[in-house]
Amino acid sequence: MAQTISRSDSRGRVKPLRRRTRELPWPANLYQTAVGKKYVMAITGIGLLGFVVAHMIGNLHIYQSPLEINEYGEALRDLGGDLIPRTFLLWLLRVGLAGMFVIHIHSAYSLARMSETSNERYERKQDYIAANFASRTMRWTGPIILLYLFFHLADLTWGWWLGDTYLRGDVYHNVVESMNSVPIAIIYVVANVALAVHIYHGTWSLFQSLGINNPHYNAARRGFAVGISAMILAGNLSFPILVQVGVIDEDDRTTPPAGSVEHEAIAPLSATTVLEVRS
Amino acid sequence: MSKNLDLKLRIWRQDGPDAPGSFLDIEAKGISEDASFLEMLDTVNERLLDDDVEPINFPHDCREGICGTCGMMVNGRAHGPEKATATCQLHMRKFDDGDEITVEPWRAASFPVIKDLVVDRSPLDRIVEAGGFISAPTGTAPDANQILIPKEAAEMSMDAASCIGCGACVASCPNSAAQLFTAAKLTHLNVLPQGQPERWKRTEAMVETMEEYFGACTNHGECHEACPKEIPLDFIAFMNRDYIKAKIKNRSLASQIS
Amino acid sequence: MINLDSKVPDGPLADKWDNHRFAMKLINPPNKRKFKVIVVGSGLAGASAAASLGELGYNVDVFTYHDSPRRAHSISAQGGINGAKNYQNDADSIHRLFYDTVKGGDYRSREANVYRLSQVSVDIIDQCIAQGVPFAREYGGLLANRSFGGAQVSRTFYARGQTGQQLLLGAYQAMAAQIATGKVTLHNRSDVLDIVTKDGEACGVVVRDLLTGQVSSHSAHAVVLATGGYGNVYYLSTNALACNVTASWRAHRKGAAFANPCFGQIHPTCIPAGDEFQSKLTLMSESLRNDGRIWVPRDIDESRSADQISEAERYYYLEEKYPTFGNLVPRDVASRNAKTVVDQGHGVGELKNGVYLDFADSIGREGIDVIRERYGNLFDMYERITGEDPYRQPMRIYPASHYSMGGLWVDYNLMTTVPGLYALGECNFSDHGANRLGASALMQGLADGYFVLPYTIGDYLAPKLGNAAIPTDDPVFTEAVAEVDTRTRHWLSKSGTKSADHYHRELGTVLRDYCGMARDKTGLEKALSEIPAIREEFRKDVKVLGSADGLNQSLEKVNRVDDFMELAELVVRDALDREESCGAHFRDESQTDEGEALRDDDNYSYVAAWEWKGPNQPQELHKEHLEFENIELTQRSYK
């Protein structure tokens, strides 16, 4: 006679929550299991982390001069030089990044779904010891970062709300224009805190997921995660904060940047023209 | 002389997997601080019986922390507040007079409650049956000392093999993942020379069976804190690496490349 | 009428097993799958037997009341497993292990069985290594050994203080592999409550599903019991709380003789009882005696802490009385001496009910790290239980009931007096005589399961080729199921007042007082008059609540206590009958001038096998006389 225990099969054994699907050919089969998905998540995480770090470091050009940051932006479009069509490599990077984003998010979503169906909550709140704020908020900081990404693109790439004040190619100007607004600066601060928190757990976690593990350096993994997220936090927060306190502004952009002759594309974007446009 | 404690207990009672459960509030007076947590429940049960209330069913057996039968959520922590201690080895001297103690069964979708604090943890056995063994039929073994095993490897294997299969890792995991259990079982065999021939097959089978029942690990590390044997998280990393290797490796070259 | 034919093969001792293996009938591989075998219990003996039988091709049904086979109490064994490998070059040999075991058992075991055990001990170590049991190693990668009580050679293989756990995992994993192939079917949370026989042969079991309360029957060509020991008859013991005698006892009631029930081992190194609510006594591995020195204060009024007592004021009673073996005397000797000094008033601790086991010297000699590596988990466990740190102050230890040398009588093939019914491991009486040496229980359980039963069962089954197992709708099964169901349910209809534990405690107290480490005629007779009274009171007055149609731990317990109540009487009767001291059975009337156990080989060199004669009838004693052709019987001396 079958037992009356629910969630059990005819022999009284607990039924699996999910059945294994047919194995796909390599390497798609890696993505079929949670451990494989975590692996993919870690790899895409590394890619995205690399982007965030490079983006942050690149943005530091803003502290050199308006010209430097604008040149930097231009250089990105010119990646690959004359060998390939202009912006081709940049678009390739953009598509790659977008792809990594999609995979990262999709794996996160399906892993979260899997855990949800496996979990049952305690009546009395669980008293966590190791699970920290960062690890438990990954599923909140993740979507925040996604929303922030769109916001950031709309703000500084598409110039949705800067409207006429948005100048294509004048990165410095757009940044100052945007972050001068207090609400926008707050959004940047909040989002970047979320990003750092996300990166803190992600960076530690990716060593686990990839199985990079050796007693010789295991202790350094936490330190590495703290270091990298602190660096990103400090770099990225500096922009809105320093714009707000007025360290970064356009008051000094009265003379055309030196050497602008060689950079015809950005030559008109001197402070005077900007001011003209604004008035 | 030992002290006595007066405690306020809230203990989960549930008739069966489909029955609704609720807390039973009990005042437990005069509990000796030398009693173990389970002996405290014994005492409570004797008193319930006197009051014509059916005693609480709770999982227990060896009461020396090795069989892995016992396990319950005590004040929101698997096996209670004491580190590296199974519930049976938790003693009441770790509590204070007047404490309120909430006791719940392990909770996870694949650990259905059987009754009160007793849950069904048999999916853990399914993981072992999937590949947690070395196929060495009786009588086929070479002389024991023919296989040299570096002391460090034997020690690591033993660290992993000391898992008692209590399920605290699953119970404490916010994702109800069984990574620490599976990794311990796997590492025990995968680091030994004898475990090499079936290493990749075993890894795939155990991980994929685990995922039929349990959630996905997000590296909180809560399992390690709950583990009465303090199985390290490193074994999870080891399992992850072996799993990816298992998917990529050309197994017919095993003797050429490690 | 029981016939105690030991079926020991002829020939020289060393050739008996070989000869017997050749003489036994075989079943060819394709035919093995036509047989079904039931294994009850999933400890070392049960799991290893199930795995090996499955590998051979038999269809095996395994029953365990645990949720997982890995929880069987073998898992608690700490110290190690003996194997006559002579890896340490200290003149060990199969013959020496055989000799030590027979001598350690005080010459109350069967020579041929013990010799076979020593022979296969070597294969067990090989088998376990092949399965991946992580035994301790030296830096060169070779296996490490340690010495153990009752032996002067280092032949004990160990995995920290968790050897039993590791061996059980090995056997369980081997069985899991067979479960995966379908050759072995696991029935967990299934309590075997009766053995079914037809025409005198075992043909199945009656099982209560602990989750649903449903009682059903299972049939097979042979039934193998590997259900462990009955140490819990003493209530307080080192056994797990669920350990019970029920399956063996039900087999006994169906005609299996019960042998040497009074041979119960008291383990010398356990944490002393603290209070009356105590549910069990925790064992600290005997291996601790390798490095710990046992002592008590010479002054019975001593009240200072251990570190304040000078060397001269310490009484190292084992080292003084037994200079050769010192702290490594066999368990019975160590236990009895602890009892003696505590009875004299030398006891230590708040209740003055223990002796010191002191590691200060070895920590000084070897360093704290070496000691931590060897015994770390035991020290931690001690600290958790007592709140005292054994690295700083000596442990307090006292003997506790631990292992049953007695059990179902079996012949050389491990078959009980019921044809088709086998008993393996601790639940049989076979190899340890009146006292078991340390690290030999694991050895025996695995020997029986891996290397003995898989051969001998074929000899019984071979002639049955072509016979189907008795169908479970046969009246023998339906009646047994009805009987078990009624017996289980009737407890709930009582309007008693006290718990099964209450009566179990009472029973245990009587047994410990009168049939513990030392026994005498008056005490045993007193026990014999008290036990039936407790049993009657228990059966009238026990209170069980809840239902029989689901999980009900109190109901499981009451069934088990009921069987202990009957067993206890037999234990005492056997102790009373054996008017000699031997091994763990110490009769005050029979001791040497020095207070050592004095055997009476002329009158008691036999295995006492008791036959069930019906409820409330005294069992009938049958004697299997023991012949010693290869060992000269001596007065054991460990001085």
Whether B139 is covered by a domain: the verdict is: yes
**Residues of chain B found within 8 Å of residue C44, distances taken between Cβ atoms:** none
Residue B106: give its domain's CATH number.
3.10.20.30
Pick from A34, A122, A130: which is nearest to B225 by CB? A130
pLDDT for A190 beyond 50: yes
Give residue C634's pLDDT.
Answer: 87
Nearest CA in chain A to B77: A127
pLDDT for A257 beyond 50: no
- From B115, B140, B164, give the residue that closes a domain: B115
In whole angstroms, what is the distance from residue A213 CA to residue A44 CA? 19
| C209–A12 CB contact, under 8 Å | yes
Whether A183 is covered by a domain: the verdict is: yes
Whether B188 is covered by a domain: the verdict is: yes
Give residue A216's pLDDT.
Answer: 87
Whether B25 is covered by a domain: the verdict is: yes
Q: Which residue has the higher pLDDT, C34 or A254?
A: C34
Distance between C215 CA and the closest CA of chain A, angstroms: 11
Whether A125 is covered by a domain: the verdict is: no
Instruction: Say if C385 is an interface residue toward chain B (CB within 8 Å).
Output: yes
Same-domain status, B10 and B84: yes
Distance between A3 CA and the closest CA of chain C, angstroms: 7
In whole angstroms, what is the distance from residue C261 CA to residue C245 CA? 11
Give residue A11's pLDDT.
Answer: 65
Tell me the helices (H) and strands (E) count for chain B, helix number first.
Answer: 8, 7
Residues of A with CB under 8 A from a CB of C: 1, 3-5, 12
Domain that holds residue B225: 122-253
Same-domain status, B20 and B84: yes
Classify strands C606-611 and C258-259 as parallel, antiparallel or unpaired: antiparallel
Contact residues, B window 213-252, toward C, CB-based 8 Å cutoff: none
Same-domain status, B37 and B62: yes
pLDDT for A273 beyond 80: no
Mutant choice from C42, C121, C280 vs B, greatest count of B C-beta within 10 A: C280
Distance between A25 CA and the closest CA of chain B, angstroms: 10
Instruction: Say if B157 is an interface residue toward chain C (CB within 8 Å).
Output: yes
| A118–B109 CB contact, under 8 Å | yes
DSSP state for residue C200 in the 8-state scheme: T
Whether A265 is covered by a domain: the verdict is: yes
Taking residues A64-92, report their average pLDDT: 91
Nearest CA in chain B to C188: B122
Distance between A14 CA and the closest CA of chain C, angstroms: 12
Q: Give φ, ψ of C168 to 5 degrees.
A: -65, -40
Domain that holds residue A219: 32-117+132-278
In whole angstroms, what is the distance from residue B160 CA to residue C68 CA? 19
Select from A97, A269, A241 the least CA-distant residue to A174. A269
**Residues of chain C found within 8 Å of residue A12, distances taken between Cβ atoms:** 209, 211-212
Pick from B66, B144, B164: which is nearest to C125 by CB? B144
Burial class (CB in 10 A: 0-12, 13-18, 19+), B257: exposed
Residue A84 token pair: 């390939």
Same-domain status, B55 and B157: no
Same-domain status, B221 and B246: yes
Same-domain status, B247 and B128: yes
Same-domain status, B133 and B217: yes
Residue C194 token pair: 């009766």
Identify the residue whose tokens are 């004797």: B46
Contact residues, C window 526-555, toward B, CB-based 8 Å cutoff: 543, 545-546, 550-554
- From B115, B133, B148, give the residue that closes a domain: B115
**Residues of chain C found within 8 Å of residue B34, distances taken between Cβ atoms:** 274-275
Pick from B136, B145, B155: which is nearest to C130 by CB? B136
| C545–B49 CB contact, under 8 Å | yes
| B237–A5 CB contact, under 8 Å | no
Q: Which residue has the higher pLDDT, C637 or B190?
A: B190
CB atoms within 10 A of CB C504: 25
Distance between A144 CA and the closest CA of chain C, angstroms: 44
Taking residues B242-250, report their average pLDDT: 93
Residue B212: give its domain's CATH number.
1.10.1060.10
Taking residues A141-157, report their average pLDDT: 95
- From B83, B115, B147, give the residue that closes a domain: B115
Residue A88: give its domain's CATH number.
1.20.1300.10
Whether A3 is covered by a domain: the verdict is: no
In whole angstroms, what is the distance from residue C454 CA to residue C56 CA? 8
Question: How many domains are contained in chain A?
Answer: 1
Whether A66 is covered by a domain: the verdict is: yes
Residue C417 token pair: 């007096």
Taking residues A214-220, report their average pLDDT: 87
Select from B178, B181, B182, B187 the least CA-distant residue to B229. B181
Whether B211 is covered by a domain: the verdict is: yes
Confidence of residue A262 (pLDDT cuts 50, 70, 90): very low
Provide the 3-class DSSP secondary structure of residue C60. Answer: strand
pLDDT for B219 beyond 80: yes
Positions of chain C with pLDDT lower than 70, given as ranges: none
User: Which residues are within 8 A (CB) of B249 and not within 5 positions of it... i.e. 6 or more apart?
Assistant: B200
Confidence of residue A8 (pLDDT cuts 50, 70, 90): low
Identify the residue whose tokens are 């319930």: B48
Identify the residue whose tokens are 């170590």: C125
Instruction: Say if B198 is an interface residue toward chain C (CB within 8 Å).
Output: no
Burial class (CB in 10 A: 0-12, 13-18, 19+), C600: middle
Same-domain status, B109 and B128: no
Same-domain status, B187 and B93: no
Confidence of residue A196 (pLDDT cuts 50, 70, 90): very high
Whether A180 is covered by a domain: the verdict is: yes
Percentage of chain A lying above the pLDDT 70 cut: 87
Catalytic residues of C, by residue number, are: 331
Tell me the longest C-alpha to C-alpha distance in chain B. 71
Give residue B48's pLDDT.
Answer: 97
In whole angstroms, what is the distance from residue B72 CA to residue B99 CA? 17
Same-domain status, B128 and B245: yes
pLDDT for A4 beyond 50: no
Burial class (CB in 10 A: 0-12, 13-18, 19+), C273: middle
Whether B258 is covered by a domain: the verdict is: no
Domains of chain C from N-terminus onward: 13-263+405-464 (3.50.50.60), 267-402 (3.90.700.10), 487-606 (1.20.58.100)
Whether A40 is covered by a domain: the verdict is: yes
Cis, peptide link before residue A27, omega less than 30° from 0: yes
Residue-averaged pLDDT of chain B: 95
Q: What is the H or E stretch that residue C512 is in?
A: helix C500-514
Same-domain status, B98 and B148: no
Distance between A254 CA and the closest CA of chain B, angstroms: 53
Same-domain status, B12 and B60: yes
| A38–B240 CB contact, under 8 Å | yes
Pick from C83, C240, C279: which is nearest to B42 by CB? C279
Nearest CA in chain B to A218: B234
Other chains touching C, judged by 3 or more CB pairs under 8 Å? A, B
Scanning chain A, the segments in alpha helix (DSSP H) are 34-59, 66-77, 88-118, 133-136, 138-152, 171-179, 182-210, 220-245, 271-278
Residue-averaged pLDDT of chain A: 87
β-strand partners of C597: C591
In whole angstroms, what is the distance from residue B207 CA to residue C97 CA? 43
